[in-house]
Amino acid sequence: MTTTHGKVSAAALALLLTASASALGAGSATAAGGTVQLPVLPSRLDADTACTAGSDQRATDVPWEQVSLQLGRTWEFASGAGVTVGVVDTGVSSSAPALKGRVTAVGDAGTDCVGHGTFVAGLVGAAVEDGVRFAGVAQQARILAVRGSDARGAVTAERVADGIRAAVDGGAKVVTVSAALGGDTASLRSAVALAAKKDVLVIAAAVPDTPATATSATDSPPARDYYPAADEGVLSVLDVDVDGKRPTGAYTTDSAAISAPGDGVVGIGPKKDGHYIGSGASLAAGFVAGAAALVRSVHPELTAAQTASLLRTSAYPADVPRLDPYAAVTSVLTPASAPARGDAGSPVRLPADEAAGPLRRALWPASLGLAVIIAVVWAGLVLPRGRRLGWRPSRPEDTTGAEGEGSAVPVGAGAQGTSES
């Protein structure tokens, strides 16, 4: 596989450094006319909190995350057309302008009181609007809205598992899961296994979103696994900031497979055409899901496992490799270098006997035919010639000479040798 990692220009690097913003702080983003204060995206709502309203503030400059991911270059080669991405979250507003006409909802998931699912769906595939340079990764992908929480954003393992199943049954080829649960369940593993069986790539936040109360690195909980991200076959995603580092006080894990922008990123809301700012691994998972849609649109021959492998192997080298959509989409795949179906950590694995089965079936007829040919040659040529020369199997008294034990010698050879001595 040949991959290309583009270099960030000096101007782009300056933009990366000046556009960085944390949702835990002022909620600012750089726009063409200066800094714009954007409202902070909530991940869930209290019982007495009103639904998230549409934002009146718009970020009109290119967000740092789009520059970091080289999306401008990537869109020359892929758009995500023909791929449906399931968003298992708080729902996705079907009336969000940047997603207009591309949202299909399961049940009542076409409404989004919290706004988090709409934000994630926008990272996956929001289209460019007039006067705004923000856009999702796969602008022509379709969004399948699936509720993985209640209307206020509270999640349970059963809701998430049901959401994954609904996304798979709804025809999604990529599914992004925002929830990161502290414990695994049989229902989650069953839902992930169903996705693997149906060749659907499940992408999930490796850790919960950063606690709003965190003030220092010492507030970070000990590293541990979260689910469904840590389940076998799921591509787990960690969030990083503009410098490629983890946010202060963030949850940690040792099992993340890939990282993506997730600290102070710009996104859409459930109403109007303004923007919010947010942070968390759930948002980073949205970027990876969009990149997976791009890959599956240009390489439809790749399985879900191969798509995950390509995203990992083309990522920028780091402690947790950083997503590089441009390298993934422009990689030159050859039969010898294409990711194998049985890659470690992939959703699809061949049992050893199944993988060897085709080879055994191919070699068996050839081996049988060769054995028949040898038998025919032996019976037709070797045995008659041996009889004419007087060959016979050795007897006990024949095995004491120089020929060695078990050898066959011509009849009369011993007498001839005696008379010559």
Structure tokens at 261: 């922008």
10-349 is a CATH 3.20.20.70 domain: no
Query: What's the number of CA atoms in the CB half-sphere (13 Å) around residue 93?
Result: 23
Return the H-helix or E-strand segment holding 304.
Answer: helix 304-313
Residue 170: alpha-carbon gap to chain centroid? 19
Where are the chain's structural domains?
A: 10-349, 355-420
Distant-in-sequence, close-in-space partners of 318: CB < 8 Å, separation ≥ 6: 244, 259
Alpha-helical runs (H) found in 228-300: 281-298
Task: Supply the pLDDT for residue 403.
Answer: 37
The answer to whether 106 and 162 are in contact (CB under 8 A) is: no
Task: Supply the pLDDT for residue 54.
Answer: 87
Structure tokens at 113: 């009181």
Pick from 268, 260, 265: nearest CA to 278: 265
Q: What is the DSSP string of 146-193?
A: EE-S-TTS---HHHHHHHHHHHHHTT-SEEEE---BSS--HHHHHHHH
Task: Supply the pLDDT for residue 32.
Answer: 38
Q: What beta strand segments (E) does 129-250 contain? A: 142-147, 174-177, 201-205, 235-240
Angstrom distance (rounded) from CA 283 to CA 292 = 14
- What string of H, E and C letters represents the secondary structure of 186-203? HHHHHHHHHHHHCCCEEE
The answer to whether 157 and 181 are in contact (CB under 8 A) is: yes
Angstrom distance (rounded) from CA 42 to CA 143 = 21
Q: End-to-end distance of the chain based on CA atoms, in angstroms?
A: 74
Q: What is the pLDDT of residues 105-146, one digit of tens each?
A: 999 999 999 999 999 999 999 998 877 889 999 999 999 999
Angstrom distance (rounded) from CA 237 to CA 229 = 8
For the chain, 421 residues long, the average pLDDT of each consecutive 10-residue run is 42 33 42 68 92 90 94 96 98 95 97 98 93 91 98 97 98 98 97 98 95 57 94 97 91 95 96 94 98 97 97 96 97 63 34 33 43 50 47 41 37 37 36
Residue 42 per-residue DSSP state: P
